[in-house]
Structure formats: C-alpha cells, structure tokens
C-alpha cells in the first residue's frame, strides 16, 4: 500500500517546490530542504520569530503571517523576514510618568501616524494596531496596553508602516506603564513581598538547601497542594 | 438633540477643560454630544497636494464612523459631525469637500479601506459648535445665562481655520460676526479688533519659536490696544501659541503685559453658572481667575 | 536683485509639475501682490508669496532654495483674497512636496529637545510632522 500524499506547488523565495498539502510554511521550508536557523522559534505561534510575508495565487494583496501557523496554498509565494531592524529608546521605569508627555518624548514617531491601517492589515494576531496607536496619540495608556496585549513582537507592522513607527516598542512601553502605574495593586502581593523581606521564609529555604536528595524527594512527593 | 461629536486628540489630554466645559454647557442647552466610537486623529493639517489620497484616509474614516453611529442607533438620522477644535473642523471639512468632488478618489479610498464595514458615500456634514449655536438661536443662549459677564471685554480670536478658505468658512472671511454674536449672547462685551483672524503661526511653533513669538505679540497687543480684557479661542494650537507662549513673548518684550486666553466654552460655562471643575480655569496657562475677580465675576 | 533668465524646456517642465501637484493655474497670476500684503508670515520669508508665484511662472527651480515655502503656515489669507481665485498655499505645498518626496526632512525628529517634546501639545507635533517631514 503506497503512502501517496497530495502535493502542491509553492514558491519559496522565488524557487518552485512541491510540498505536502496541509503543511505550514515552516513545514514547507523544511520539506524543501531548508534548515532554518533564524526566523524560527517555538513553532507554536507564541514567540513571534517566524514573521513571513506571502502572496496567494491570483491575489494582489501582500499578506503577513507566522510561518508556523500559516498553511500553504497552491501557488503561494513566500519570503521570510528573520529580523526587523528597530531602535528602542532607553528609559528608566522609575523616572517616567504614565501620561502623554512620556509618549511624546520617547516615541515622537507615533505622531506621524496617518491612520492608514496598514499595520492592522499586516498583523498575524488580529490585533487592532492602528487603534492602539491612536489611543497613544490621545494619551490613553490603559487602552493601548489592553488592545496590544496579544502582540508577539513579530515586527510585520513596523516593516510595513509608511510613517516608520515601531508599533510594538510603543506597545511595550504602554504595557509597562500600565503594569507599574495604572493597574490595580495587589495587596496580597505587597504583603507577601514584605514577609519575604522580613525573613519569614529564610529558615525554610535554608533547610531545603541543606537537605540531601533522598529526603528532598520524599518531601516533594508528600507535599500538600492547596487549591 | 443628540449629535455625533468629534473631540480630536488634544481635547482628550492638554485641552480637556475645553471638552468638559463644552459638553456641560451644551447639556444646559439640551444638546447631547455623542462621542464618535473608535475615532482616529484627523491629521491636523489638511492635505493640499492634488494627487494625495492617503492623507484623506484619516478624515474619511471618521465620517464612516458617523454612518456607523446612525446604523447602530447611537444617533437617529443625524449625519452632522460636530467639532470643537477649529483645526479639526477645517481638516475634516476640506477632506469631505474633496471626496465629494472627486468621486474616483473616494472609490479608491473606500477600496483601500476594505476592512471597514461601511463605505463612505459623501453624506456627512461637518459643523463647528458655533454654527450649531447660531442655528439654535443666540437668544436661547441668552436665556440660559445666570451669571452676568457684562464687565468683561472679550476679543474673539477666530484664527485662520474657521473662516478660510471661503468654501468652508462659518462666516464672511473679512467681516465675520458669528463669534461676536456669541459673546454678546453670553452677556459679555465683544471687542472689535483688526487681528481677529491673523495666523498664530500654527505648527511652526515646533521648529520656529521666534516667528510664533512675533505673531503672538502682534495679535495680543492689538487685542489689548482695542480694549480687550480676555481673548477667546476655539483651537488648542492657537491656545498654546497665544497662551503658553506668552512666557517666550515676555522674554523678548519685557514690557509686554500678560492677557488671559480661554476657550469660548469656558466662558459659556461660566455664564451658565457651572462649577469650577467644569469651567476648568486652572487648565489655562495665564491665570484668568485673577482678571475675572477684578471684574467682580465670581468663578 | 536683478536676475536674467533664459526659459528652457526644463523650466517649462518645472512649472507643469508645480501646476499638476497644486491643481492651480499659475500662469493666471498677474502678480498684483495682494497675497504678499495679506500674508502674516512675510516677516520671516526670504522671498514674498508674490515672488514665489513669479519664480514658479518662470520655472525657476531655485525658488525652493529659499525658506519661504517652509514658513508658510497655510493660513489661507492669500487664498481668501487673491483676485484671480488662486490658492497660493497649494502652490507652496506643491513646492514642499517636491522636496519632501525626495526623502527630505525639514525638521529632524531626533533633534527636537526632550523637554520641548514633553511640552508641545500633540496637535503641534502632528501638524509639523505632516508639513515638514517625509
């Protein structure tokens, strides 16, 4: 019994290759004989390393996607973008304020946005990128942090932006400002940190460090798990 | 009356007192501002190159939101979009006029914005708050005045965007009266002065402070010489150039005497007897409260 | 300052380019000077609006060497008063676009001092970036 797999043609950086139906772009690359050293990571759609641009047969639109998540179609033309060059401003979280003045100082390019929405169209995570940049333009840090939450920093938005904004770096700043200054504080966390600093757990940790492997294993498997 | 309202970025941050005083004053007149959902920055300056289509995306997208508001029942049969900032007014209106004239460009824009659920059909009308107030009748405003501003001499600063180009002006570009009628309606005394629509320098304030200082000095001293106690404006950029930049004017012209610059809705809120939080005079750079107190007007 | 010019086809091409970009019929300008009289920014301009129109009519590309087109705030006083109905602010925009579209930036965003970025309202930054950067 022969294991005849259905094959389709895809163009990897201009070269035609026959790959199995149902392959993701990464699988197609590897089937065609490429060994990927950059532009590959978790293979799970989470790390953002495999940003790829492609066109489907008969469609003029240039699409962006993650190579590990996008399934190939007949006649697809593919190219990877293993690295997106972008500078980050250096800032000290303790010295900046969660308001529009910080955005103006650290990311003045945000104010070049022409609301063309190309970033949103390029995003493989279905994030409303233009909307969070607009939120930053209005000084709404919390909204920007919320809308950009799913960003995996693949870089496709920054690459296609006509105003040369690096959206994901601005999103990172918004998320950090939100977490440090605007989000609700956890009283339990503050209490626990104080307990640690007061040395409540020092004795217990010292004991564990000095235990031998046999006793440690016993203690591990007999622990009580509170849910 | 419920009307779609376009704030513009600055009204949500440094010019929040402009927005707050406007919304509350409008409520007193029975007008409810319904903020445009998912609005985006209009772009500040109108696109002037004939072949430019991209810079019309931002204004047209906002007009699509107006159509969506009507579709979703947030407003009923109301295709007018109200703006407070005269800069936004000008940019949105000019774009609207252009896409109505050049239908092919509108097709290109709609096609480019294929992710939007609604196509723009050119049916939205951009209006400035002063136009709505005039349409309502300035007498109606007189009726809502509870605090008299009769001792206050107010110079109306139209700036360039409300009156020019003539196709979008809210009044005659050489002898406008709408802003003065408004000032009379809120019981203050309008001042007639020459530089009421002389440009403040606009965006040149970023890179060319000196020319803005010269223009500001010329505008403000003319207002003072014409007897003004206070100046009202309708644009956060004009407010910055005429208000905040007074410190730079004073550096160059030490004999210059400061004069408060406020948004017209702040005076309206004051005349309607609204609270300190609403009139928001602590948001202005040159303190207006001192002047108002000297005119026996309680804030 | 008197300058003698010989009109070549390259000058005609430049005039055509500016006319197309601005959508204005520049040859209709009779250089009456009303635009210059109305313009509040002439205090800063190296050549007046009327002279800009004259140089463009003669297809002189070095009109773009002067600072005038960069200090036009597009306030439209000229537009409202031109007896021929011309929009001079569109002409200055056409000149700016010719320069900007060659990837030229009049202001360098990286060089704006941080304190100024913090103090200026967004509306000023957005407007300046639109008109003066590519």
pLDDT digits (tens, 9 = 90+) for B159-169: 999 999 999 99
Q: Mutate which of B6, B102, B205 to disrupt the C interface (most C C-beta within 10 Å)?
A: B205
List the chains bordering chain C where 3 or more Cβ pairs fall under 8 Å.
Answer: A, B
For residues A160-164, average pLDDT: 93
Average pLDDT, chain B: 95
**Is the pLDDT at A195 greater than 70, yes or no?**
yes
pLDDT the model gives residue A3: 59
For residues A203-218, average pLDDT: 93
Q: What is the DSSP string of C26-44?
A: GGG-----HHHHH-GGGGT
- Segment B246-263, tens digit of pLDDT: 999 999 999 999 999 999
Closest-approach residue (CA) in chain C for B166 = C80
pLDDT the model gives residue C134: 84
Q: CA-CA distances (angstroms) from residue B271 to A26, B264, B299, C119?
A: 68, 11, 10, 31
On the question of a cis peptide bond just before residue B165, with omega within 30 degrees of 0, the verdict is yes
ipTM score over 0.90, yes or no: yes
**Is the pLDDT at B269 greater than 90, yes or no?**
yes
pLDDT the model gives residue B81: 97
Measured CA to CA, the distance from residue B137 to residue B144 in angstroms comes to: 12
Q: CA-CA distances (angstroms) from residue B90 to A47, A188, B249, C38?
A: 45, 52, 28, 20
Percent with pLDDT over 90 in chain C: 87
Element of type H or E holding C129: helix C122-132
**Is the pLDDT at B151 greater than 60, yes or no?**
yes
**Is the pLDDT at B24 greater than 90, yes or no?**
yes
Is B162 within 8 Å of B86 (Cβ atoms)? Answer: yes
Element of type H or E holding B81: strand B80-83
- Candidates B12, B13, B54; nearest CB to A116: B54
Q: Do A137 and B43 touch (CB under 8 A)?
A: no
Closest-approach residue (CA) in chain B for A133 = B40
| Reported confidence tier of residue B139, pLDDT bands at 50, 70, 90 | very high
Identify the DSSP state of A95.
T
Q: Is B80 helix (H, G, I), strand (E, B) or coil?
A: strand
pLDDT the model gives residue A1: 45
Measured CA to CA, the distance from residue A168 to residue C108 in angstroms comes to: 22
Hey, what are C16's tokens? 């055509």
- Candidates A115, A140, A162; nearest CB to B58: A115
- Measure CA B184 to chain center: 18
For residues B16-35, average pLDDT: 96
**Is the pLDDT at B74 greater than 70, yes or no?**
yes
Measured CA to CA, the distance from residue B110 to residue B174 in angstroms comes to: 37
Q: Do A117 and B54 touch (CB under 8 A)?
A: no
pTM confidence score: 0.89
List chain B residues with CB under 8 Å of C77: 160, 164, 198-199
Percent with pLDDT over 90 in chain B: 97
Q: Do B215 and C40 touch (CB under 8 A)?
A: yes
Q: What angle do CA B237, B243, B246 make, to 5 degrees?
A: 125
Hey, what are B229's tokens? 């106690």
Hey, what are B244's tokens? 């905040």
List chain A residues with CB under 8 Å of C130: 112
**Is the pLDDT at A2 greater than 70, yes or no?**
no
pLDDT the model gives residue A17: 95
Bridge partners of A77, per DSSP, are A11, A55
For residues A190-219, average pLDDT: 94
**Is the pLDDT at B222 greater than 90, yes or no?**
yes
Hey, what are B132's tokens? 């709505």
| Reported confidence tier of residue B23, pLDDT bands at 50, 70, 90 | very high
Q: How far is B58 from chain A (nearest CA, A)?
A: 5
For residues B99-123, average pLDDT: 93
Buried b (16+ CB within 10 A) or exposed e, B20-41: bbbbbbbebbebebeebeebbb
- Segment C79-89, tens digit of pLDDT: 999 999 999 99
- Compute the half-sphere exposure of residue C114: CA atoms within 13 Å on the CB side of its CA: 8
Element of type H or E holding A147: helix A141-147
For residues A91-120, average pLDDT: 93
Is B7 within 8 Å of B82 (Cβ atoms)? Answer: no
Q: How far is B137 from chain C (nearest CA, A)?
A: 28
Is B191 within 8 Å of B229 (Cβ atoms)? Answer: no
Cβ count within 10 A of residue B113: 19
**Is the pLDDT at A193 greater than 60, yes or no?**
yes
Measured CA to CA, the distance from residue A18 to residue C6 in angstroms comes to: 64
The DSSP bridge pattern shows strands A7-12 and A76-80 to be: parallel
- Candidates A104, A112, A139; nearest CB to C118: A104
The DSSP bridge pattern shows strands A15-20 and A7-12 to be: antiparallel
Identify each DSSP E strand in chain A by its residue range.
7-12, 15-20, 51-55, 63-66, 76-80
Helix axes A167-177 and A129-138, enclosed angle (nearest 10): 60
**Is the pLDDT at C110 greater than 90, yes or no?**
no
Q: What is the DSSP string of B128-197?
A: EHHHHHHHH-HHHHHHH--S--TT-EEEE--TTTTT-STTT-SS-SSS--HHHHHHHHTTPEE---TTTT
**Is the pLDDT at A143 greater than 70, yes or no?**
yes
Pick the closest to residue B123 from B103, B144, B108, B145 (CA basis).
B103
| Reported confidence tier of residue B100, pLDDT bands at 50, 70, 90 | very high
Q: Do C121 and B237 touch (CB under 8 A)?
A: yes
**Residue A52, burial from CB neighbour count under 10 angstroms (0-12, 13-18, 19+):** buried
Q: How far is C124 from chain B (nearest CA, A)?
A: 5
- Segment C1-34, tens digit of pLDDT: 677 888 899 899 999 999 999 999 999 999 999 9
Q: Mutate which of C100, C111, C113, C117 to disrupt the A interface (most A C-beta within 10 Å)?
A: C117
Q: Mutate which of A98, A102, A105, A170 to disrupt the C interface (most C C-beta within 10 Å)?
A: A105
Size of interface A-B (CB pairs under 8 A): 41
Q: Do C117 and A104 touch (CB under 8 A)?
A: yes
């Amino acid at each position: 019994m022969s294991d005849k797999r259905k094959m389709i043609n895809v163009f990897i950086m201009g070269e035609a290759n026959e790959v199995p139906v149902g392959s993701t772009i990464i699988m197609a690359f590897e089937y065609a004989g490429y060994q990927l050293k950059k532009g590959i990571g978790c293979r799970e759609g989470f790390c953002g390393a495999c940003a790829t641009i492609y066109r489907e047969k008969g469609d003029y639109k240039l699409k962006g996607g993650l190579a590990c998540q996008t399934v190939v179609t007949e006649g697809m033309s593919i190219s990877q973008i293993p690295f997106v060059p972008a500078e980050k401003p250096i800032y000290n979280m303790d010295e900046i304020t969660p308001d529009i003045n910080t955005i103006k100082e650290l990311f003045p390019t945000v104010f070049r946005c022409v609301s063309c929405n190309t970033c949103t169209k390029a995003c493989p995570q279905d994030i409303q990128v233009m909307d969070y940049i607009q939120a930053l333009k209005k000084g709404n840090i919390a909204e920007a942090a919320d809308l950009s939450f799913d960003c995996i920093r693949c870089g496709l938005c920054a690459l296609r932006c006509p105003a040369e904004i690096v959206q994901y770096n601005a999103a990172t700043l918004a998320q950090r400002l939100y977490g440090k200054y605007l989000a609700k504080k956890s009283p339990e966390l503050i209490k626990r940190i104080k307990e640690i600093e007061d040395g409540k757990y020092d004795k217990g940790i010292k004991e564990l460090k000095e235990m031998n492997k046999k006793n440690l294993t016993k203690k591990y498997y007999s622990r009580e798990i509170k849910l | 009356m419920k009307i779609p309202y376009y704030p513009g970025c600055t009204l949500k941050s440094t010019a929040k007192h402009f927005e707050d005083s406007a919304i509350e004053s409008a409520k007193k007149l029975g007008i409810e501002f319904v903020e445009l959902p998912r609005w985006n920055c209009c772009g500040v300056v109108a696109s002037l190159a004939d072949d430019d289509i991209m810079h019309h995306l931002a204004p047209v997208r906002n007009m699509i939101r107006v159509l969506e508001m009507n579709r979703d029942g947030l407003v009923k049969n109301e295709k007018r979009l109200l703006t407070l900032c005269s800069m936004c007014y000008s940019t949105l209106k000019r774009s609207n006029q252009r896409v109505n004239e050049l239908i092919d460009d509108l097709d290109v824009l709609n096609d480019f914005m294929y992710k939007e659920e609604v196509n723009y059909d050119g049916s939205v009308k951009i209006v400035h708050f002063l136009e709505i107030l005039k349409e309502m009748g300035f007498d109606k405003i007189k009726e809502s005045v509870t605090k008299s501003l009769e001792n206050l001499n107010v110079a109306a600063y139209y700036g360039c965007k409300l009156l020019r180009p003539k196709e979008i002006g809210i009044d005659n570009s050489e002898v406008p009266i709408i802003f003065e009628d408004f000032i009379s309606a809120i019981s203050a005394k309008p001042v007639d002065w020459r530089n009421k629509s002389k440009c403040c320098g606009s965006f040149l304030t970023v890179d060319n402070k000196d020319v803005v200082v010269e223009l500001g000095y010329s505008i403000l001293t003319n207002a003072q010489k014409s007897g003004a106690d206070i100046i009202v404006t309708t644009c956060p950029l004009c407010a910055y150039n005429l208000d905040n930049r007074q410190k730079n004017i004073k550096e160059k012209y030490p004999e210059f005497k400061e004069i408060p610059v406020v948004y017209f809705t702040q005076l309206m809120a004051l005349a309607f007897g609204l609270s300190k939080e609403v009139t928001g005079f602590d948001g202005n750079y040159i303190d207006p409260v001192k002047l108002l107190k000297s005119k026996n007007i309680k804030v | 300052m008197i300058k003698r010019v010989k009109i070549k086809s390259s000058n005609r091409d430049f005039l055509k380019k500016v006319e197309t970009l601005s959508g204005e019929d520049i040859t209709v300008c009779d250089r009456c000077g009303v635009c210059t009289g109305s313009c509040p920014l002439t205090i800063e301009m190296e050549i007046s609006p009327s002279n800009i129109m004259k140089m463009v009519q003669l297809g002189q590309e070095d009109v773009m060497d002067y600072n005038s087109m960069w200090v036009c705030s597009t306030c439209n006083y000229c537009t409202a008063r031109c007896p021929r109905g011309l929009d001079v602010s569109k002409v200055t925009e056409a000149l700016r676009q010719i320069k900007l579209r060659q990837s030229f930036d009049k202001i360098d965003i990286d060089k704006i001092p941080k304190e100024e970025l913090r103090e200026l309202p967004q509306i000023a930054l957005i407007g300046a970036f639109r008109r003066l950067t590519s």
